[in-house]
A and B are shown apart, each in its own frame.
Chain A
C-alpha cells in the first residue's frame, strides 16, 4: 500500500508538510462546523478525513478548495498561504460528491474543460484528454453525454476531469458514496493505483471506516468539528487514544474499572463487569485509583470449551448468540456479571455446524493477553 512508497514523511521530523491547516475554525452564524483544527498533510499522501454525518468533513474540504473561507486560522498549500486565494487560482482540484459533470458537454469536453485555462496547444490539450480517458479506461465513451453513462462511469469521468489539470492536491468528497459494494472495492484499488501513478496528494472525505482503512496512508478521525486522532490505519485501529475513536473504528469490548496497582510495565484494573481483575500493558501516565476503561477487540479474545492453562485475564461465560459469516463467526458471550462480550473467531477449519468451537448455551472460557488490551483514560 501507499505507506511504503511515501516513506512515512510524517515521522521524519525535517519534512515540510505539503498542506498545512493551522488552527482553522469555521462558524456558520453561531454554529461551529469546524473547531480549531490543525493538520499537516505530506506530499504524496492519500489522506482520509473520517467521521460521522455532519461532523464537518465537507466543510474542511471546502476550505481547502476555497469555496468556504475559514472564520479563523490559515491554510497553506506547498508553502503558499491560500487562505484568501479564490478557488479558480488554487493548485487544487476537487471531485464532487454529486460528480457535477456538465450535462451539456460530452465526456471529452468535460475532461478538457479545465485545460482551456492552461497555456497548451490544441494538440497538447487533446493529448492530455486522451491520456486521462485512458487512465480511467473510458476512451470509447469520449463522445457520450453524462446522462448516457452509468454511475460508475460518471464517477470515473469526474475523476479524470479533476486530474486533467495535474493539480498539486486532489480533493475527493465521498468518491465512492454512490457506488454499490462490488464496484466500490474495485474503484478503491483503482483510486490507489492512480494515486501511485500520478504521485498527486489525495485528500479523501469518507464516513466509511473500512474505506478509509484500505485507501489511506493516514486517517484523521473527526467528531463534531474536532479532530480526535490522526494516524496510520494501524495506529488508529490498534492504538486508539480515546473511547470515541476506539468505538468509531471497528467494534470493541469496553470494561470500566479502577486501577488497583501498577508495576513497571503492567497495570491491574478491577472491573465489576469482568468480575475480577484484568492485567494490561500500561504506558507512563497511569496512576493507582484512576478510573479507566479496558478495551479489547473481539478478534483478540480467545474462546474455547477447555479452561486455558494460564488463568491471567480468563473468565467463564455462556454463549447466548452466534453469528456465522462464512470466513469468521461472532460469538456473544454472557459473563457472570451479565455483561456481554463479543468474540470473533476465524473459521480456519472446514467443518459442519456441530464441529464449531461452541454452540448456543455452551459454557466457554474467554481469555486475552495483557498486550491485547488498550487502556483508555477518558
Chain B
C-alpha cells in the first residue's frame, strides 16, 4: 500500500513537472538580460519595456483583446439563450439532436471547425458580399460560434440544477415570462454567465488554429504574431509577452473557476441549512 502510494505520488510529480517546468522556465527567462534564449545573463525587465514600445505587438494585443471582448459578449448572450432552450423547453422535437449539435464543437478538431468556417465565409462573400474581407469581423464571428458551445453547456447545467418552481412561483405571483427571466432566472444564473464570459474570453484570446483559417491580411492577433515570430527563433521578448498572456489567462480561468465553485458551495450550504432546519 505504502509502496503504491509513493509510486503514484512520483508519477503525479513527474506529470506536474512535465507540464509546468517549461512554463516556469519561460517566465524565468523573460527576466533574462541576455539576448540568447538559453543562456542566463542576469536579471532584467528590459524585455517588458521593449515589448510595450513595439507598435506591432501593441496593435496585435489590442486587436486580440477587442475580438476577445466582443466575441465573449456575443457568445454569452447566444450561449445563454441556447442553454435555456436546452434546459427549459423540455420536449421539443429533436431536442437531443440539438443538444448534441451545441456541444459538438467542444470535441470537433479545431482544424475542421476552422476549415468549415473559412468555406462559409468564402461562400458568404461570394453570394451576399458580406463579410467583404476576411479579418476582424470573420475572426470575431468564428470565435463567437466556437465559444458559444462552452457557455451553452455551462448555462444548461446550471439551469438543470435550479428548481423550476422558482420560475413558476414568480409567474404565479403575476410576472409574465419575460419578467420572470429578468427577476428570477438571470439573477440566479448570473455567476454562471460571468464564468461563461470569462471562459469565452480566454478561449478567444489564445486561439491560433481557427484564427489562422479565418483571418486575413492586416488582422494579426497576438497568438498569430507570436507564432510567426517563433518560427524565426525564440527571443526573450516573446518570453515576456507569453508571461503576460499566461498571467491574463490564469486570472480569467481562475476567476471563472472561483465563481462556479462559490455558487456551487452556496447551493450546498443552502441545502444543508434547509435539511438541518427541518431536523
Q: A103-B270, A150-B277 are in contact. Are A98 and B170 (CB under 8 A)?
A: no
Contact with B along A86-110 (1 / 0, CB 8 A): 1111001110111011111000000
Q: Which residues of B contact A114 (CB under 8 A)?
A: 173-174
Tell me whether A94 and B172 are in contact (CB under 8 A): yes
Contact of B277 among A93, A113, A152, A161 (CB under 8 A): A152
Tell me whether A151 and B278 are in contact (CB under 8 A): yes
Q: Is A320's CB within 8 Å of the partner chain B?
A: no
Q: Which residues of B contact A113 (CB under 8 A)?
A: 170, 173, 183
Tell me whether B172 and A88 are in contact (CB under 8 A): yes
Question: Which positions 56-107 of chain A face chain B at CB distance < 8 Å?
Answer: 65, 67, 86-89, 92-94, 96-98, 100-104
Question: Which positions 249-279 of chain B face chain A at CB distance < 8 Å?
Answer: 266, 269-270, 273-274, 277-279
Report B193 CB to chain A, min CB distance, Å: 14
- Residue pairs across A and B with Cβ atoms less than 8 A apart, 10 shown, are A89-B174, A100-B165, A100-B166, A101-B169, A102-B169, A102-B183, A103-B166, A117-B173, A147-B274, A154-B274
Q: A96-B165, A104-B188 are in contact. Are A180 and B170 (CB under 8 A)?
A: no
Q: Is A149's CB within 8 Å of the partner chain B?
A: yes
Q: Is B171's CB within 8 Å of the partner chain A?
A: yes
Question: Which positions 57-85 of chain B face chain A at CB distance < 8 Å?
Answer: none
Question: Which positions 159-184 of chain A face chain B at CB distance < 8 Å?
Answer: 161-162, 165, 178-180
Tell me whether B163 and A100 are in contact (CB under 8 A): yes
Cα–Cα, bound, A147→B270 (Å) = 5
Tell me whether B168 and A88 are in contact (CB under 8 A): no
Contact of A117 among B168, B174, B278 (CB under 8 A): B174
Query: How many A residues have CB within 8 A of the partner chain?
Result: 36
Q: Which residues of B contact A149 (CB under 8 A)?
A: 277
Tell me whether B169 and A180 are in contact (CB under 8 A): no
Report B168 CB to chain A, min CB distance, Å: 6
Q: How large is the interface on B (under 10, 10 to 19, 20 to 34, 35 or more residues)?
A: 20 to 34
Cα–Cα, bound, A179→B278 (Å) = 6
Tell me whether B273 and A165 are in contact (CB under 8 A): no
Tell me whether B274 and A102 are in contact (CB under 8 A): no
Tell me whether A161 and B173 are in contact (CB under 8 A): yes
Apart from A161-B169, A180-B278, what are 7 other A-B pairs with CB-CB below 8 Å?
A86-B171, A94-B168, A94-B172, A98-B165, A102-B166, A113-B170, A165-B174
Tell me whether A102 and B279 are in contact (CB under 8 A): no
Nearest 3 pairs between A and B by C-beta? A114-B173, A117-B174, A150-B277
Cα–Cα, bound, A149→B269 (Å) = 12
Tell me whether B172 and A93 are in contact (CB under 8 A): yes
Tell me whether A102 and B277 are in contact (CB under 8 A): no
Q: Is B187's CB within 8 Å of the partner chain A?
A: yes
Using a CB–CB cutoff of 8 Å, the interface residues on chain A facing chain B are: 65, 67, 86-89, 92-94, 96-98, 100-104, 113-114, 117-118, 146-154, 161-162, 165, 178-180
Tell me whether A165 and B278 are in contact (CB under 8 A): no
Is the contact region of chain B dominated by helix, strand, or loop, or is it mixed?
helix
Cα–Cα, bound, A8→B75 (Å) = 61
Q: Is B184's CB within 8 Å of the partner chain A?
A: yes
Q: Which residues of B contact A154 (CB under 8 A)?
A: 274, 277
Residue of B nearest to A114 (CB): B173
Tell me whether B175 and A88 are in contact (CB under 8 A): yes
Contact with A along B105-119 (1 / 0, CB 8 A): 000000000000000
Q: Which residues of B contact A103 (CB under 8 A)?
A: 166, 188, 270
Report A162 CB to chain B, min CB distance, Å: 8
Residue of A nearest to B162 (CB): A103
Q: Is B176's CB within 8 Å of the partner chain A?
A: yes
Q: Which residues of B contact A96 (CB under 8 A)?
A: 165, 168-169
Cα–Cα, bound, A162→B173 (Å) = 7
Contact of B184 among A102, A146, A151, A165 (CB under 8 A): A102
Contact of A151 among B172, B173, B274 (CB under 8 A): B274
Cα–Cα, bound, A101→B243 (Å) = 46
Q: Which residues of B contact A94 (CB under 8 A)?
A: 168-169, 172
Report A85 CB to chain B, min CB distance, Å: 12
Tell me whether A67 and B168 are in contact (CB under 8 A): yes
Q: Which residues of A contact B273 (CB under 8 A)?
A: 147-148
Q: Which residues of B contact A104 (CB under 8 A)?
A: 187-188
Cα–Cα, bound, A154→B188 (Å) = 19
Report A92 CB to chain B, min CB distance, Å: 8
Cα–Cα, bound, A165→B173 (Å) = 8
Q: Which residues of B contact A100 (CB under 8 A)?
A: 163, 165-166, 168-169
Q: Which residues of A contact B165 (CB under 8 A)?
A: 96-98, 100
Q: Which residues of B contact A153 (CB under 8 A)?
A: 277
Cα–Cα, bound, A174→B164 (Å) = 17
Cα–Cα, bound, A297→B165 (Å) = 41
Tell me whether A65 and B172 are in contact (CB under 8 A): yes
Q: Which residues of A contact B163 (CB under 8 A)?
A: 98, 100
Tell me which of A114, A152, A153 has the highest count of chain B C-beta atoms within 10 A of its own C-beta: A114
Q: Which residues of B contact A118 (CB under 8 A)?
A: 174
Residue of B nearest to A158 (CB): B169
Tell me whether B166 and A180 are in contact (CB under 8 A): no
Report B183 CB to chain A, min CB distance, Å: 7
Cα–Cα, bound, A149→B270 (Å) = 10
Tell me whether B270 and A87 are in contact (CB under 8 A): no
Tell me whether B169 and A88 are in contact (CB under 8 A): no
Residue of A nearest to B278 (CB): A151
Report A63 CB to chain B, min CB distance, Å: 13
Q: Which residues of A contact B171 (CB under 8 A)?
A: 67, 86-88
